[in-house]
């Protein structure tokens, strides 16, 4: 995903600042999906991989779930998925990735096309 501010469940933002950030994250996800010409899927599993800044602190990738939710909403906005409900989506599931050596925390996402739905 493009480099920029991310939304964490630990952030305490004014509701309008949070809304603007969610809107930007949705737009970035939609633009990235369009630019990569990703095919429309009826069913997928989505993983997001957190790449934190290099630190000795422990990180919980689930804290970035609000960013992952905004990214998934952007995928629905662009038509990659019909909806983000359980009929079309598994996840998003958090994973830890290698730390970044420069800049801020980053997130990459992985979309896995699946053929079977969960019950």
Q: Are 73 and 29 in contact (CB under 8 A)?
A: yes
Question: Higher confidence at residue 77 or residue 105?
Answer: 77
Mean pLDDT, rounded, for 86-100 = 92
Q: Are 8 and 94 in contact (CB under 8 A)?
A: no
Predicted local confidence at residue 116, as pLDDT = 56
Angstrom distance (rounded) from CA 91 to CA 40:
17
Beta-carbon-side half-sphere exposure of residue 103 (alpha carbons within 13 Å):
11
Angstrom distance (rounded) from CA 100 to CA 11:
21
Domains, the chain, ordered by start: 15-113 (3.30.1330)
pLDDT in tens, 5-60: 888 888 888 999 999 999 999 999 999 999 999 999 999 999 999 998 888 788 88
Predicted local confidence at residue 21, as pLDDT = 93
């Amino acid at each position: 995903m493009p480099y920029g501010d991310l939304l964490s469940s630990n952030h305490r933002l004014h509701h309008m600042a949070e809304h603007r950030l969610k809107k930007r994250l949705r737009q970035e996800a939609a633009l990235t999906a369009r630019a990569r010409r990703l095919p429309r899927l009826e069913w997928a599993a989505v993983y997001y991989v957190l790449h934190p800044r290099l630190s000795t602190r422990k990180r919980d990738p689930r804290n970035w779930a609000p960013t992952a939710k905004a990214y998934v909403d952007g995928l629905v906005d662009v038509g990659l998925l019909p909806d983000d409900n359980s009929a079309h989506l598994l996840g998003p599931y958090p994973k830890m990735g290698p730390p970044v050596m420069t800049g801020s925390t980053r997130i990459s996402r992985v979309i896995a096309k699946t053929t079977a739905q969960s019950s």
